């Protein structure tokens, strides 16, 4: 019998235990973050369950509303948003919430206020719901300067101000990936226990990858640098093998694969959409934070993604993120022209 393996199998590191361990390194911590994280975990479990039952429960289809980006909202988007918003407010630990589904930021009433700000996309990749492809929840967390006087300036600041970020992927398994600024860890939901168990400790993105991930259908509108980079992925001139193309079209799934296998994920700006498609606060920032924490890079075509200072809560930005060397290559192309 392999006693080491057996010990590992019976010593289950749940996400709460992991965060409590992290908390014990900060004697001044009062457990507020753990309480907030528990609400994120609860929301993710709810959405995971709702996504898996979507077909059965006849939750698929349009809710008859459009969100701020003019996209059709699905019932699951509405449901997921409500669950997270109520969980965050109920935790008593948040003061401002910015959701992809809500046009305006939510300012929590004074009696329920705490010092955390949560920016989130409750159900990202929603065009993939009806065909059962992986979708996810993305979140970033900041602290407010003055808990008695929260303002939008507390949110419209560089992504490097975040104190934590993560995502939960509802795929063949339900995986929550989290960073509190001290590396990246992945937890998989054990449905029989209802607990997220540490399955991917200390995720490090390979320094260089063999995969590129982009919507090539937009190629006719790309700028010279993106076109040149993708051309090099397919027809390398340095004797290396061409990269493989993988594109799920669900940011959480594409970034998750990039974190684990390496390579690059691109959603560039183009002639039609100079700022690309992905939203700075609750897509670009949390994913860039995780990629940097895992040893990779994230670039907008102009600067480090986490240095962007958004002017609006639903602002968009081009994004190139992934393995350090792959992103370095595209940075050099943008520098050269």
Residues binding ligand FDP (CB under 6 A): 124-128, 215, 249-251, 254, 277-278, 283
Other Cβ atoms closer than 10 A to 156: 17
- 94 or 175: whose CB is closer to ligand FDP? 175
Q: Considering the complex, what minimum distance in angstroms separates the CB of residue 334 from ligand FDP?
A: 21
CB 276 within 8 A of CB 318: yes
Q: Considering the complex, what minimum distance in angstroms separates the CB of residue 166 from ligand FDP?
A: 15
- 40 or 123: whose CB is closer to ligand FDP? 123
CA dihedral 302, 244, 166, 205 (to 10 degrees): -90
Q: Considering the complex, what minimum distance in angstroms separates the CB of residue 249 from ligand FDP?
A: 5
- 145 or 271: whose CB is closer to ligand FDP? 271
Other Cβ atoms closer than 10 A to 231: 12
Place of tokens 């967390």: 141
- 67 or 94: whose CB is closer to ligand FDP? 67
Q: Considering the complex, what minimum distance in angstroms separates the CB of residue 147 from ligand FDP?
A: 31
Give residue 69's Cα distance to chain centre: 18
Q: Considering the complex, what minimum distance in angstroms separates the CB of residue 227 from ligand FDP?
A: 17
Q: Considering the complex, what minimum distance in angstroms separates the CB of residue 70 from ligand FDP?
A: 12
CA dihedral 151, 155, 157, 162 (to 10 degrees): 130
Q: Considering the complex, what minimum distance in angstroms separates the CB of residue 76 from ligand FDP?
A: 11
SS3 label, residue 197:
strand
Query: What are 98's two structure tokens?
Result: 């910015």
Outline where the chain has alpha helix (H). 3-10, 15-23, 32-52, 75-91, 224-234, 251-261, 285-293, 324-336
- 127 or 244: whose CB is closer to ligand FDP? 127
Cβ density class 185-216: b for 16+ within 10 Å, e for less: bbbbbeeeeebbbbebeebebbebbbbbbbee
| DSSP one-letter string for 101-149 | T-SSPEEPPGGGEEEEEEEEEEEETGGGGGGT--EEEEEEEEE-S-TTS
Q: Considering the complex, what minimum distance in angstroms separates the CB of residue 127 from ligand FDP?
A: 3
Cα four-point dihedral sign 37, 315, 169, 262: negative
Q: What angle do CA 278, 282, 288 make, to 5 degrees?
A: 75
* Cα 227 to Cα 223, 246, 334, distances in angstroms: 6, 17, 11
- 108 or 251: whose CB is closer to ligand FDP? 251
- 126 or 258: whose CB is closer to ligand FDP? 126
- 36 or 280: whose CB is closer to ligand FDP? 280
């Amino acid at each position: 019998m392999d006693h080491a393996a057996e010990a590992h199998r019976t010593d289950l590191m749940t996400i709460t235990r992991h965060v409590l361990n992290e908390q014990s390194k900060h004697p001044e911590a009062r457990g507020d973050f753990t309480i907030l994280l528990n609400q994120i975990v609860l929301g993710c479990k709810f959405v995971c369950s709702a996504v898996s039952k979507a077909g059965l429960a006849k939750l698929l289809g349009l809710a008859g509303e459009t969100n701020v980006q003019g996209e059709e909202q699905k019932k699951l988007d509405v449901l997921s948003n409500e669950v997270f918003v109520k969980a965050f407010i109920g935790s008593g630990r948040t003061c401002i919430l910015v959701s992809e589904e809500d046009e305006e930021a939510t300012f929590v009433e004074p009696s329920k206020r705490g010092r955390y700000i949560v920016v989130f996309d409750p159900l990202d990749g929603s065009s993939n719901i009806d065909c059962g492809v992986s979708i996810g929840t993305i979140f970033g967390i900041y602290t407010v300067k003055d808990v008695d006087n929260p303002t939008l300036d507390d949110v419209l600041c560089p992504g490097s101000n975040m104190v934590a970020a993560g995502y939960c992927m509802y795929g063949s398994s339900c995986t929550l990936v989290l960073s509190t600024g001290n590396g990246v860890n992945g937890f998989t939901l054990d449905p029989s226990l209802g607990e997220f168990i540490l399955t991917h400790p200390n995720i490090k993105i390979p320094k260089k990858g063999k995969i590129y991930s982009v919507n090539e259908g937009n190629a006719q509108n790309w700028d010279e640098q993106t076109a040149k980079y993708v051309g090099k992925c397919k027809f390398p001139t340095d004797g290396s093998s061409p990269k493989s193309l993988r594109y799920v079209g669900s940011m959480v799934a594409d970034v998750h694969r990039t974190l684990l296998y390496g390579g690059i994920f691109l959603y560039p700006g183009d002639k039609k959409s100079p700022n690309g498609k992905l939203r700075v606060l609750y897509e670009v920032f949390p994913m860039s934070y995780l990629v940097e924490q895992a040893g990779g890079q994230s670039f907008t075509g102009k600067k480090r993604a986490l240095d962007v200072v958004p002017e609006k809560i639903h602002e968009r930005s081009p994004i190139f993120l992934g393995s350090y060397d792959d992103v370095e290559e595209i940075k050099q192309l943008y520098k050269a022209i």
